[in-house]
Amino acid sequence: ELWMHSLAVAYLCKELSTAVKYGNPSEFFLMGLFHDIGKLLLAQIVDRLEHGKMIPYEISSEQFQYVVVSSHGKFGECLINRWKLGETFARVARYSEEAEQVAQPSHEMMVVYLANRLALELGYGKLPADAKRLTDLRTVSRLELTAEKLEEIKTRVTELMANSGTL
């Protein structure tokens, strides 16, 4: 599930960067792949803690979800910094789900945030019940995207995902 979500975000990042004519689409593709890397790191940490008997109990699904939601951005940022992928990649990992709350988000943060949101709408992950409509997001207006352009991008990425089903 995480892999398919990240792949969808990567394709969406590439399409969005092309649509807004900003940056290198291949770099945006990589940002999309890595945006949730902190979730993978946290899953490995919890697994090692449980199997190494370093904690005397099993972590429930609800507890794990809480930790992942609240901390994966920070863990992703740390991992990307350790890999020396650069400040842009690190900030994207840190704020990929929070760009709407950042006062001056970078183009990269906005593109990855919007790609993540679009991936959830396409069914690659769970869209929160209280999620704003796409057209109500500041990111959409800041990137000067129309509802029609977003639908075109979603259609293209749906096709790309269908064709990559054998990965």
**Rounded distance, CA 98 to CA 102, Å?**
7
Q: How do residues 77-133 score in pLDDT, each as one tens digit?
A: 999 999 999 999 999 999 988 888 888 999 999 999 999 999 999 999 988 888 888
Distances (CA, A) of 158 to 66, 115, 134: 29, 13, 17
Distances (CA, A) of 157 to 68, 71, 150: 26, 28, 11
**Rounded distance, CA 87 to CA 31, Å?**
12
Dihedral Cα 145, 73, 35, 148, nearest 10 deg? -20
- What's the whole-model pTM score? 0.89
Q: Within its chain, how far is the Cα of 73 from the centroid?
A: 10
Q: How do residues 31-82 score in pLDDT, each as one tens digit?
A: 999 999 999 888 888 777 767 667 667 777 787 777 777 888 999 999 999 9
The percent of the chain in helix, strand and coil, each rounded to the nearest 5, is 70, 0, 30
Tokens in use for 70?
């609240």
**Rounded distance, CA 26 to CA 63, Å?**
36
Residues sharing a CB contact under 8 Å with residue 128, sequence separation 6 or more, in sequence order: none
Distances (CA, A) of 19 to 10, 68, 119: 14, 31, 16
